[in-house]
Chain A
Amino acid sequence: MRARGLITAAAVIIAVGLTTSPVRASGDGIELPSQDWSFAGVFGTFDRGELQRGFQVYKEVCSGCHSLNYIAFRNLADLGFNELEVKAIAAGYEVQDGPNKEGEMFNRPGLPADRIPAPFPNDNAARASNGGALPPDLSLMVDARPDGANYLYALLTGYDDAPSGMTVAEGMNYNTYFPGHQVAMPPPLFDDGVEYADGTKATAAQQARDITAFLAWTTEPNMEARKEMGVMAILFLLIMTGLLYLSKRKIWADVH
């Protein structure tokens, strides 16, 4: 009886905490369609093929406008690339270094320890190239939006004609899921806009899935370690709590 009351109370309090937490209240109250993600749930893991394709989409499409400041080339080993592949990917980029002995900055090929270079030297340059709008850094995007993974997929596949009666401002695009429906980002994904090395058919929807999974990884590269440890921790705690309960029963047996 008492234990039940206690658990109910805890559940109510946690439920209130969760439902009032604005995380659930999606920006404009626009309903987001839910997708099946391999990384969702207690046992969810990343699909390495999906991550590698997502990286390709980032590299060939998004990186023209968006930085990925928190990711270094060495982190890409998590996607299943081996050391040589990581080195080769890094070497494909020009990275600014310096100053050298003469006090000059110079360019050199990237190394695994370098971060992925940003497309623009500063925010003003980024705005100047994007009609005044700032393309945000994508590293944390999945945690930085309510229901981030579903939102990203919806945003990238949500470009449409504006409903009649609505005028879209100059340089803006209609998007079903962007708060306010007018977004400065032009539709970035098209069928066969990239050619996947593994032969997967590169529909726009497939690319949206892959880049979303990739950004879920950049948001939390440690997610798999967290969940693995979580399963062990909960198992351990359940056993420990069970033993403590038995000890408690035994010690209290003589109290009347």
Chain B
Amino acid sequence: MSGPNFSNSVVRWIDHRLPVFTFMHHEMHEYPTPKNLNYWWNFGSLAGIVLVILIVTGIVLAMHYTPHVDYAFQSVERIMRDVNYGWLIRYIHANGASFFFIVVYIHIFRGMYYGSYKAPRELLWILGVVILLLMMATAFMGYVLPWGQMSFWGATVITNLFSVIPIVGDWIVTLLWGGFSVDNPTLNRFFSLHFLLPFVIVGVVVLHIVALHRFGSNNPLGIDVRGKQDSIPFHPYYTIKDMFGLGVFLTIFAAVVFFLPNAMGHADNYIPANPLVTPAHIVPEWYFLPFYAILRAIPDKLMGVLAMFAAIGVLFILPWLDRSPIRSGTFRPLFKIFFWLLLADCVMLTYLGGKPPEGVYVILSRLGTLYYFFHFLILLPGLSIFETPKPLPRSISQPVLGSGAGPVTAEKENS
């Protein structure tokens, strides 16, 4: 097998013994990528960069943070006031977590619209859902660390959920708490796990990318790459496109970090934790709100918890619920409508999760929850039977070249 020819002799010497440069050349220069990817395909690499930003800022924060109920809040304030640029590091880390979820949620809906979860990318998709679960656990435990009022009460409410599980519930809760209430042992183990889990995420992301590189990216048309004319090397084309997207992202991110650093947080978390005073409204971070709305929509506690986990559980089996052989929503007139309805439903559930569970909010939460599961469990399997898809273009390069045959409409619709 003839590898690339490196001009630098040191590189050649190393590569002969440890072929990392060949590996990189293969994955970057030779790795063929569909040439028609739109900007929604930026969000995968963006998520990876945000993950790195979170890990780097997190390690610096851990150098100054004290995981003890008597000092945690103070140590965070010391970071904000006395550590050089500590405020910057902390604001980047806290808002970075929110942006991580924004980016990954967009990334997931991109995958849903273009059918990226379908064969042969089912495992790639499932690894993604595993990442989502790990992110949620990490973010939840991270939010407990500053030991403010919302840290404490959020931890109390969420860990208590596990107590409804029959037989083992109480045992799990005691294990999470390290005692009989949320207290110092809880804070200590959450800190330890919050440090560990991001590296587990890195491991799963590596697997995610190995799976991705097996068949390469899907694309807005959802049809396979047929040959050289359909693809371009990842580098430099997508590296520069990803860099441009990163620039746009960082500009928006910086605007929030520097000018609205507490807008996505909660005022109560600037009050030190107090087990004797319950806040008026205990609300989780915004990225948990749709799941919180589903939890509260169901009157029975155990069923509520099950529904909340099932809301993510259905994503695992999505590749087998959607039986249509057509990947891209562009060619599925009915699916497309229901995709936007599902997105609207999720936005509504997010809104409802932040509202008190009373009156019309409860009714809407129930309808929203019902519709969420209706979409995945009934609509998607049914659609593949009733829907007549539009004709697919013959190849990726054909509609772009406009050589006559096949519909030319696809490009336009991917806006």
Q: Which residues from chain A sit less than 8 Å from chain B, CB to CB?
A: 1-6, 9-10, 12-14, 16-23, 25, 27, 42, 70, 136, 139-140, 143-146, 148, 179, 220-222, 226-227, 229-231, 233-234, 237-238, 240-241, 244-245, 247-248, 251-252, 255-256
Find residues 360-415 in chain B having any chain A CB closer than 8 Å to their own CB: 400-401, 414-415
Ranked 4 nearest A-B pairs via Cβ: A230-B258, A241-B247, A20-B354, A1-B415
Q: Quote the shortest CB–CB distance from B329 to chain A (angstroms).
A: 14
A20-B354, A226-B258 as given contacts; A248 in contact with B240, CB under 8 Å: yes
Cα of A5 to Cα of B347 in the assembled complex, Å? 17
Which applies to chain A's interface (DSSP): helix, strand, loop or mixed? Answer: helix
Judged by a CB distance under 8 angstroms, whether B158 is at the interface is no
Q: Mind listing 17 A-B residue pairs with CB under 8 Å?
A: A10-B252, A21-B265, A21-B286, A22-B266, A22-B281, A25-B281, A27-B280, A70-B77, A70-B81, A136-B271, A222-B87, A227-B259, A234-B251, A234-B255, A238-B251, A241-B248, A244-B243
Residues in B with CB closer than 8 Å to A241 are 244, 247-248, 250-251
Q: B106 touching A9 by the CB < 8 A rule? A: yes
Among B35-43, B136-144, B202-210, B308-316, the stretch that binds chain A is B35-43
Cα of A251 to Cα of B77 in the assembled complex, Å? 47
Nearest opposing residue in chain B for A245, CB measure: B244
Cα of A11 to Cα of B244 in the assembled complex, Å? 18
Q: B254 touching A230 by the CB < 8 A rule? A: yes
Q: B250 touching A23 by the CB < 8 A rule? A: no
Cα of A17 to Cα of B105 in the assembled complex, Å? 13
Judged by a CB distance under 8 angstroms, whether B12 is at the interface is no
Q: Quote the shortest CB–CB distance from B134 to chain A (angstroms).
A: 21
Q: A226 touching B88 by the CB < 8 A rule? A: yes
Cα of A5 to Cα of B259 in the assembled complex, Å? 25
Residues in B with CB closer than 8 Å to A27 are 280
A2-B414, A226-B87 as given contacts; A20 in contact with B270, CB under 8 Å: no
Residues in B with CB closer than 8 Å to A245 are 244, 247
Q: Quote the shortest CB–CB distance from B414 to chain A (angstroms).
A: 7
Q: B401 touching A23 by the CB < 8 A rule? A: no
Q: B247 touching A237 by the CB < 8 A rule? A: yes
Judged by a CB distance under 8 angstroms, whether B283 is at the interface is yes
Judged by a CB distance under 8 angstroms, whether B167 is at the interface is no
Within 8 Å by CB of A22, from B38, B98, B283, lies B283
Within 8 Å by CB of B80, from A222, A229, A233, lies A222
Q: Quote the shortest CB–CB distance from A12 to chain B (angstroms).
A: 7
Find residues 103-123 in chain B having any chain A CB closer than 8 Å to their own CB: 105-106
Q: B268 touching A144 by the CB < 8 A rule? A: yes
Q: A3 touching B39 by the CB < 8 A rule? A: yes
Residues in B with CB closer than 8 Å to A222 are 80-81, 87
Cα of A20 to Cα of B412 in the assembled complex, Å? 34
Residues in B with CB closer than 8 Å to A146 are 267
Cα of A225 to Cα of B196 in the assembled complex, Å? 33
Cα of A253 to Cα of B81 in the assembled complex, Å? 49
Q: Quote the shortest CB–CB distance from A41 to chain B (angstroms).
A: 9
Residues in A with CB closer than 8 Å to B105 are 13
Judged by a CB distance under 8 angstroms, whether B338 is at the interface is no
A13-B106, A23-B263 as given contacts; A144 in contact with B270, CB under 8 Å: yes
A4, A18, A23, most chain B CB atoms within 10 A: A23
Q: B266 touching A140 by the CB < 8 A rule? A: no
Cα of A222 to Cα of B350 in the assembled complex, Å? 33
Inter-chain pairs besides A16-B347, A140-B271, A251-B236, 11 sampled, C-beta below 8 Å: A2-B39, A3-B39, A16-B286, A21-B265, A22-B267, A23-B266, A143-B267, A146-B267, A222-B80, A233-B258, A241-B251
A226-B87, A229-B258 as given contacts; A14 in contact with B354, CB under 8 Å: no
Judged by a CB distance under 8 angstroms, whether B262 is at the interface is yes
Residues in A with CB closer than 8 Å to B263 are 18, 21, 23
Residues in B with CB closer than 8 Å to A6 are 39-40
Find residues 209-223 in chain B having any chain A CB closer than 8 Å to their own CB: none
Residues in A with CB closer than 8 Å to B347 are 12, 16
Q: Quote the shortest CB–CB distance from A197 to chain B (angstroms).
A: 27
Nearest opposing residue in chain B for A139, CB measure: B77
Q: B259 touching A42 by the CB < 8 A rule? A: yes
Q: Quote the shortest CB–CB distance from B339 to chain A (angstroms).
A: 13
Residues in A with CB closer than 8 Å to B271 are 136, 140, 144
Q: Quote the shortest CB–CB distance from A229 to chain B (angstroms).
A: 7
A2, A13, A22, A226, most chain B CB atoms within 10 A: A22
Q: Quote the shortest CB–CB distance from B153 to chain A (angstroms).
A: 12
Judged by a CB distance under 8 angstroms, whether B29 is at the interface is no
Q: Quote the shortest CB–CB distance from B365 to chain A (angstroms).
A: 13
Q: Quote the shortest CB–CB distance from A215 to chain B (angstroms).
A: 12
Q: Quote the shortest CB–CB distance from A60 to chain B (angstroms).
A: 25
Cα of A238 to Cα of B249 in the assembled complex, Å? 11
B77, B250, B267, B283, most chain A CB atoms within 10 A: B267
Cα of A229 to Cα of B85 in the assembled complex, Å? 11
Cα of A21 to Cα of B105 in the assembled complex, Å? 17
Cα of A180 to Cα of B164 in the assembled complex, Å? 34
Q: B232 touching A255 by the CB < 8 A rule? A: yes
Within 8 Å by CB of B102, from A2, A14, A25, A231, lies A14
Residues in B with CB closer than 8 Å to A221 are 81
Q: Quote the shortest CB–CB distance from B350 to chain A (angstroms).
A: 6
Q: A143 touching B262 by the CB < 8 A rule? A: yes
Judged by a CB distance under 8 angstroms, whether B351 is at the interface is yes
